Amino acid sequence: MAAVAANPPAATEDPEPQREAVPGLESQRRQIKNGESGQERPLRAGESWFLVEQHWYIQWEVYVQGGDQDSSTFPGCINNAKLFEDQVNWCLKKGLVEGEDYVLLPAAAWHCLVSWYGLEHGQPPIERKVVELRGIQKVEVYPVELLLVQHSDMGTPHTAQFSQTDSIDLVLRTAREQFLVSPQEETRLWVKNAQGSFERLCNTRVTVLDAALKSGQLVVMETRSKDGTWPSAQPHAVNRASKEDEDFQGQPGICGLTNLGNTCFMNSALQCLSNVPQLTEYFLKNRYLEELNFCNPLGMKGEIAEAYADLVKQAWSGHHRSIVPQVFKTKVGHFASQFLGYQQHDSQELLSFLLDGLHEDLNRVKKKEYVELCDAAGRPDQEVAQEAWQNHKRRNDSVIVDTFHGLFKSTLVCPDCGNVSVTFDPFCYLSVPLPVSHKRVMEVFFVSMDPRRKPEQHRLVVPKKGKISDLCVALAKHTGVSPERMMVADVFSHRFYKIYQLEESLSSILDRDDIFIYEVSGRSAICENSREDVVLPIYLRERTPARDYNNSYYGLMLFGHPLLVSVPRDRLSWDSLYHILLYRLSRYVTRPSSDDEDDGDEKADMEDKDSIPKPGHMAGGSSQDPGPEQAGPSSGVAGGSRAPVDNSPGPSHWPQRARRKHLFTLQTVNSNGTSDRSNFNEDTHGVSFSSQPYIAIDWEPEMKKRYYNEVEAEGYVKHDCVGYVLKKAPVRLQECIELFTTMETLEKENPWYCPSCKQHQLATKKLDLWKLPETLIIHLKRFSYTKFSREKLDTLVEFPIRDLDFSEFVIKPQNESAPELYKYDLIAVSNHYGGLRDGHYTTFACNKDSGQWHYFDDSSVSPVTENQIESKAAYVLFYQRQDVARRLQPQPGLSDPPVPPACSSPPNSEFMDVN
């Protein structure tokens, strides 16, 4: 029912209406009691029924039953005075009961009684509507009485009555009329609940009953400020700043967004979307209010659309230099948990979520019907495409579909039976690949067998999908060392993280890994009796006194670069290994002088009497120093086998300690470099290894300080190839689109089920463009993710600012008379600077009103020229079809000022170079 004013007119019926010919009393009784218009007729929702005071009605019944029109029981005029609280406001008394205080009559019966008997002078008729509540029809005797107030004046309520079936929209319209709000101003309603807090009445299409409004509740109408903000959304601390912003007047749309902490990705996506002209006009002109979908299970109850609308209205009010998108950020995190917190994200991923959220919140389809997808089955493309688009629109119809959705043609061919499947699928943006090089640049350190040579840093170009052997081949061209004499290892935290086999893939090596390639002897076993080298990984450790109550415990800390040493099987003894390692370290380890050796003899004599040497004690041996000649090539870093060998035989005898000073001790350890004596067996005959041994060279602090040169040990040289830079030639955007439409074979992880073969197949797939949208979003796939690697492609993509022609890519029969249907102009670019783990997003955008390009860097906005837009940072491109741009231009003769040609760049002396 329409709102009932608090002070209705005195009466709506003439106190002495022109009387109709009064029928007989029996006829009156039949009309009022029975028949289609009588009291006994069923209730129908939406009809009007009227209250009649019970005593008057009983008197009338007595009168008509008496059969005498001149009887003293004549009831007189209808008098409902006993039903009203007073005769000023004519409010109905509370607690009236049907059958005791009043009877209900349908409109036809009421009007008959009024025409026969009249209505007491000054009394209004008590009209009530029939409503259907939970499937039951009833007359709503007591409407809901609400107290309407303005947000700016909470102390002056206005009382209005509403039926429970009235919409909240009627409540809003009543409040607007009462408070004289102009049609241009935007308003919204809040209701005060029992706890004293306020809740938004978001969906104005629901009824008073659905909104659970009760009589006496306070309903607040809020009016949007000139700067696009809602007064209730402004904290008290910034009210003063908001008033200052209201006085500021700038170009609408030239407004920054504050970075809330790694939210530049969100700011970039929002600035791009805000500069899509037709979408922004849709929100600025409040057309979204009529299309908010609050009941879509796939949507966000209209909250994302409303939050985005608030941002657009603020940014395009012209009253802000920058705004804080805190409310929008909170809404996004609420509906998409991946965006919770303040981690860096991908602007394209947020854009995808936002477009989908806006579409579902504004979907004009309230109840989605089931649509079965059909294959072409040999039908003409035109027919199949039209059917696919109509099916898509039956479930998806919104401003997002109107603006951004296009249509693909997807063709799959089975490699076995040749079955061809053709489908047409909608898309919201194009994710186009970049033509990538099949080469990869890797930096490695080459360690020569010659201990006098420092490690060399090399920059190698290898196949991106190559193997470890390819890396060795590339290094061999620089060093002249045969690939068969190389071993590759990943060094991390002074230990071997992994030692690679030649057949392993290079994709398992990340760019940040420290890769060392060691020259080895290259000798391998031909028969059982032949000589073969055993590979031993060598770690460097230093003893450090630990904090202990008696200083009896010593800790061991790894340092320096580990080594891979190949040792001949017939010389695999602790004594030989000590001298081989001493020679191998000779570049940065000083040999003891003869005086130093004498100093150690006496101490050694004492030790020999008290202990038997074991692994972990000083390695003794012959007084003969094997020297360079004896050590020979076997003193290199690794052996001829392609990886450390297992079950290597130990020395046949444990040597007696010699009387000479030793610089370090040797200890078998595990792969982490911590002591582990479980991998060797010791008896009276010697030591044999039961698994791959790792050997640690343990230094006493004093000995290390005296004989170990840390500066020399860490030294390396750069090969000439390190200065080379692999130049990347720029690519055209058209090449990326061609690559997108190129036929490809599906990967093993994503096979296609062939309905003809009845099994999954690695089919060939080809995508073609059939129908292009008004605004085309092109996502450049700069980020590459695989199981082992992640990289960003910084290739320069050359894209046109104007006249991007898609006519060669659209396979749908074209309209030759309308070439602008296939030509696009650039309107916005989302940029990404930096690498994978850290980076920054910004935006270039063309203002729809001025045609001027601007650079949006969070809260900072600067004008730029068109030649600054193209850069290696370009990530997401927004193009607008030229026919749409012409349609949106203001017509000549209107009051709006003339607008320069779309996306023009007037000269400006304050341009900022951002490339």
Which positions are catalytic? Answer: 264, 840
Contacts of residue 246, defined as CB under 8 A and 6 or more positions apart, other chains included, come to 225, 226, 227, 319
Tell me whether residue 504 is exposed, middle or buried, using C-beta atoms within 10 angstroms of its C-beta: 0 to 12, 13 to 18, 19 or more.
middle
Rounded Cα–Cα distance for residues 812 and 214 (Å): 58
Rounded-to-integer distance, Cα 600 and Cα 668, Å: 24
User: Do 569 and 649 contact (CB within 8 A), yes or no?
Assistant: yes
> Token pair for residue 162?
């509403």
CB atoms within 10 A of CB 782: 21
Instruction: Compute the distance between CA of residue 864 and CA of residue 549 in angstroms, rounded to an integer.
Output: 70
Percentages helix, strand, coil for the chain, rounded to the nearest 5?
25, 30, 45
Tell me the residue ranges of DSSP E strands in 230-369: 256-257, 322-323
DSSP, residue by residue, 73-111: T---SB--GGGBS-SSS-PBPTT--BTTTEEEEEHHHHH
Cα atoms in the Cβ-side hemisphere of radius 13 Å centred on 414: 16
d(CA 317, CA 313): 6
- Classify 877 as helix, strand or coil: strand
Residue type, 614: K
Please list, in sequence order, all residues whose beta carbon lies within 8 angstroms of the beta carbon of residue 348, skipping any fewer than 6 positions away. 269, 429, 431, 779, 830, 875, 876
Question: Cβ contacts of residue 755 below 8 Å, gap of 6+?
Answer: 419, 421
- Which residue's structure tokens are 């074979």? 745
Rg of the chain, C-alpha, whole Å: 44
Looking at the DSSP assignment, which residues form a beta bridge with residue 840? 833
The amino acid sitting at 4 is V
Residue 219's nearest CA partner among 210, 208, 229, 230 is 208
Query: What would the two tokens of residue 832 be?
Result: 């990404």
Classify burial at 456, counting beta carbons within 10 Å of its beta carbon; exposed 0-12, middle 13-18, buried 19 or more: buried
CA 345 to CA 836: how far, in whole Å? 10
Q: Are 52 and 79 in contact (CB under 8 A)?
A: no
- The amino acid sitting at 498 is K
Q: Fill in the amino acid letter for 309.
A: A
611, amino acid identity:
S
Residues 319 and 226 sit within 8 Å (Cβ to Cβ): yes
